Structure 1
Amino acid sequence: MTISRRALLAAGAVAGGGLLGACGSNTGRGDGGGGSRPALTQWYHQYGESGTEQAVKRYAAAYGKARVTVQWRPGNYDQQTAAALLTDSGPDVFEVNGPTLDQIQGGQVVDLTALLDGVKDDFNPAVLAPKTYDGKIWGIPQVIDMQMLYYRKSLLQDAGLRPPDTLDALVDAAKKLTTKKTKGLFLGNDGGAGVLGGTPLYAAGLQLVTEDGKPGFDDPAAARTLAKVRQLYADKSLLLGAPADWSDPSAFLQGLTAMQWSGLWALPQVQKELGDDFGVLPFPKDGPSGRPAVPVGAYAAAVSARGRNREAAEEFVKWLWVQRTDDQEDFALSYGFHIPARISLAKKAAKLRTGAAADAVRLTTDHGHAQPLLWTPAAQTAYQDTLSRIIKDGADPDSELKTVLRKVSAELDRVKKTS
């Protein structure tokens, strides 16, 4: 199953920094008989959702102030763009899972703050925050993807259970729902170490990085919460070794699990096969300072600082991703199932106004959190390894977190020195 836009939500989905040879000299910048209109090249990663490529080419063709050539980029897109931004033959406008801190600090992308004058507050703040650095906006969010907990209403009712609204209740429900044929919960074939990331920390009222650039989980609550996630594994309540991983709802649809952590993209298929016999929840809160947690992510439209027509590129980005609200809704909901980045569009979109889809929008608006810009690949890897040892190996959460806090602190100090 092609993950496409939703791949950025998986823990560790960060832009690659290596160079890729021959990353694309066909920029589409020739005069091409377009008169005085500037020529722009726009890059997208290869979506798995049918019709997306045709749609973005249609949007570009409708723009009258420049000749926009769309390039559909298969392969390791993040690596391709990272390499291309260092050359004069890269894109003028490109979609990016970021921009990354290195791209911003390296002067590779253009400040787009002015493009959101008067409409900034209409963009979901959870996905706009990682596009913001030093008070400036470096990418315009396109659509939102989010993760949530699916549960079978009938199975919970038969067991006398309410939808779990705390982590303790989730641990209890997963254990009670586990039978010889069905497991209580599916968090991925690795027990959740890969997909959950920092979500349990947010559920405990913590965060990965504070506003002043320090580790946000130097708190006893972190160990207590991760110990409960470990308990799910120790209780044998988790489905492991499913035919498809967490991003695919097939385990949930086949009755292999009563509850499954997956994404919004799975909702149309779940609804088609289960009708009204399911509901959706955030990751439940834990502890007195806890709060429900919903991981979100968004690709953004960015402008290369090495482009030959930067002003024209900025005008095009504003036209498509700020002004053309009909196209933004079309891009979010006609090819796959996503939430528009604009709060007003998400509220009025017909496909998102009822049932579980409306619940997903509400959860995203009320409880969404994104991976912080300062959360570098090095910090991610260190934390990911720690989470895996706690969940799968039963390592002591206190000692593991003390070790990873030292590593993350050193990494954040390094990042701040280069700022």
Structure 2
Amino acid sequence: MSALSNRNFDRRTALRAALGLAAAGGLAACGGNNGRGGGSGSGTNLVQMFHAYGEAGTEQAIKRYAKAYKEANVTTQWITSADFESKLFSALLTDNAPDLFEFHPQIQMVKSGQVADLTDIIDPVKDDFNPADIKSHTVDGKIYGVRMIDDPQFFFYRKSMLEKAKVDVPTTFDELMEAADKLTTGKVKGLYMGNDLHSVNDTLIWSSGAQHLDEKNQIAYHTDGVVEGLKKMRTLFTSGNLLLGAPTESWDPSSFNQGLCAIQFCGMWAMPAIQDALGDDWGVFPFPKVTDSGKASVYNGGWSMFVNAKGKNVDAAKEYVKWLWIDQKEYQEDWATSYGFHIPPRTSIAETATKLKSGNAAEGVRLFNEFGHFDNIGWTQAMRTAFEDVFANSVRKNMDPEKALDRCDTAVNRELKKLFG
């Protein structure tokens, strides 16, 4: 879900960063007693932690769901500051740790014993979840975390600007670069992909015909196609056609809505805000293929609910997760479609979500189904940071991409050895 507020940072990168820090030495030391009482039934107190979503009504919705639950007293910590991740993982080291919290699937949380095995509550309805969501939360056959929303990300474009410049919707990265050049006029830049470009790191790999890791958890991103993609990104970065230094990061559609760019990389969550600002003068397309052997790609972000395995009320927390994120389909659809647009991870809910059945929302669902890629649970924050350094060095600083990738390989292999031997 987006955060259409003034927090000028890349939430998903920042949130993952905390896990890298915590896994380096903190999570395994978490205390088990949260000091808030135990037992079962209505006397049980549970605390859930969420980051502050920017869309109006989200905080009220989460608290409304919690209030409707009668088997425990559920309170919500709604973290409004930009450092949700540091507050979360600092809290997990204390006696005041939340019983459940939202985050992204990361194998360090499983390896450190931080998150509870939820297989028993998910298994009966597993076939109703998007299989990729199940896979991205599974380690050694056990499922950790329940997906709450899927957040596909793609390019948004202004129809009128492309028509005026006589530009077709790009289907290759070369065409995207050409479009950015033709669409750059005066105060309008052709393309915006975030101030640091990190929002497109993953899609560049996929659209170059590669993967982060292979099925044996070995490096799969260091290919000729990715090298070619990095060189093209360097050309684009130095072209003068990219919006850099935008007032908000790319998860926020403000730059697009205000006409600072003709094309912006953003998420499906922004569709209602864009519709309100621009009417029907916009469309979406996937990150185009970078090489002849590549294929267009769509990054599927999203958020998942985890149970703190080191908390005192693990069973009660699991029951609440089951009640809200498995049993209460009405709340699940409300969460996915009433506060920005997201795709429900439950097939049965996605099929009946009327708000996603027409227009650009339906097109977003189609792109998600045809081109979507999900997080690899084995791709850790340290690995992500190492590949971000590849972008910083080869795209922003003009280092030879092969040398930049070699550096990345060293860091990634070090992490892989820690995790998998």
CA distance in structure 2 between the aligned counterparts of 1:29 and 1:77, rounded to whole angstroms: 25
Report the counterpart of residue 96 of structure 1 in structure 2: 103
CA distance in structure 2 between the aligned counterparts of 1:344 and 1:289, rounded to whole angstroms: 35
Report the counterpart of residue 276 of structure 1 in structure 2: 280
Q: 1:155 to 1:84 in 2, by over 3 A?
A: closer
Aligned pairs for 1:61-100 within 5 A: 61-75=67-81, 76-98=83-105, 100=106
Retained in 2: the 8 A contact 1:86–1:108? no
The aligned amino acid for 2:18 is A
The aligned amino acid for 1:308 is K
CA distance in structure 2 between the aligned counterparts of 1:289 and 1:115, rounded to whole angstroms: 41
TM-score for the superposition, normalised by structure 1: 0.88
CA distance in structure 2 between the aligned counterparts of 1:90 and 1:392, rounded to whole angstroms: 40
Work out whether 1:345 is the aligned partner of 2:349. yes
Aligned pairs for 1:244-323 within 5 A: 244-323=248-327
Report the counterpart of residue 411 of structure 1 in structure 2: 415
Report the counterpart of residue 5 of structure 2 in structure 1: 2
Aligned pairs for 1:325-364 within 5 A: 325-364=329-368
CA distance in structure 1 between the aligned counterparts of 2:397 and 2:73, rounded to whole angstroms: 56
Report the counterpart of residue 151 of structure 1 in structure 2: 157
TM-superposition CA deviations, 1:353-407 (whole Å, max 9, x none): 1111111122222222233222222222221111122222222222222232232
CA distance in structure 2 between the aligned counterparts of 1:155 and 1:138, rounded to whole angstroms: 45
Retained in 2: the 8 A contact 1:150–1:278? yes
Work out whether 1:57 is the aligned partner of 2:63. yes
Q: 1:297 to 1:388 in 2, by over 3 A?
A: same
Report the counterpart of residue 119 of structure 1 in structure 2: 125
> Quick one: which of 190, 201, 208 aligns to 2:212?
208
Secondary structure in structure 1 of the residue aligned to 2:318 = helix
CA distance in structure 2 between the aligned counterparts of 1:195 and 1:11, rounded to whole angstroms: 12
CA distance in structure 2 between the aligned counterparts of 1:144 and 1:39, rounded to whole angstroms: 29
Between the two proteins, the alignment pairs up a number of residues equal to 410
CA distance in structure 2 between the aligned counterparts of 1:27 and 1:271, rounded to whole angstroms: 47
Alpha-carbon shift at residue 214 of structure 1 (Å): 1.0
Secondary structure in structure 1 of the residue aligned to 2:312 = coil
CA distance in structure 1 between the aligned counterparts of 2:128 and 2:305, rounded to whole angstroms: 17
TM-score for the superposition, normalised by structure 2: 0.88
Q: 1:10 to 1:271 in 2, by over 3 A?
A: farther
CA distance in structure 2 between the aligned counterparts of 1:253 and 1:307, rounded to whole angstroms: 44
User: Which structure 1 segments of 5+ residues have no match?
Assistant: none
Work out whether 1:241 is the aligned partner of 2:245. yes
> Quick one: which of 378, 389, 403 aligns to 2:382?
378
Retained in 1: the 8 A contact 2:149–2:343? yes
The aligned amino acid for 2:285 is L
Retained in 2: the 8 A contact 1:149–1:259? yes
**RMSD of aligned Cα (Å):** 2.9
Q: 1:8 to 1:237 in 2, by over 3 A?
A: same
CA distance in structure 2 between the aligned counterparts of 1:206 and 1:35, rounded to whole angstroms: 50
The aligned amino acid for 1:70 is T
CA distance in structure 2 between the aligned counterparts of 1:355 and 1:243, rounded to whole angstroms: 29
Secondary structure in structure 1 of the residue aligned to 2:351 = helix
Q: 1:26 to 1:411 in 2, by over 3 A?
A: closer
Alpha-carbon shift at residue 61 of structure 1 (Å): 2.1
The aligned amino acid for 2:169 is P
The aligned amino acid for 1:147 is Q
Q: 1:155 to 1:27 in 2, by over 3 A?
A: farther
Retained in 2: the 8 A contact 1:383–1:404? yes
Work out whether 1:177 is the aligned partner of 2:180. no
CA distance in structure 1 between the aligned counterparts of 2:184 and 2:55, rounded to whole angstroms: 34
Alpha-carbon shift at residue 86 of structure 1 (Å): 4.3
The aligned amino acid for 2:344 is P
Retained in 2: the 8 A contact 1:8–1:14? no
> Quick one: which of 15, 22, 45 aligns to 2:18?
15
CA distance in structure 1 between the aligned counterparts of 2:80 and 2:164, rounded to whole angstroms: 47
Retained in 2: the 8 A contact 1:113–1:136? yes
The aligned amino acid for 1:326 is E
Q: 1:169 to 1:147 in 2, by over 3 A?
A: same
The aligned amino acid for 2:5 is T
Q: 1:325 to 1:35 in 2, by over 3 A?
A: closer
CA distance in structure 2 between the aligned counterparts of 1:353 and 1:28, rounded to whole angstroms: 44
CA distance in structure 2 between the aligned counterparts of 1:335 and 1:30, rounded to whole angstroms: 34
Retained in 2: the 8 A contact 1:8–1:297? no
CA distance in structure 2 between the aligned counterparts of 1:255 and 1:389, rounded to whole angstroms: 30
Structure 1's consecutive aligned runs of 4 or more residues displaced over 6 angstroms after TM superposition are: none
Q: 1:240 to 1:70 in 2, by over 3 A?
A: closer
CA distance in structure 2 between the aligned counterparts of 1:93 and 1:12, rounded to whole angstroms: 16
CA distance in structure 1 between the aligned counterparts of 2:17 and 2:130, rounded to whole angstroms: 21
User: Which structure 2 segments of 5+ residues have no match?
Assistant: none
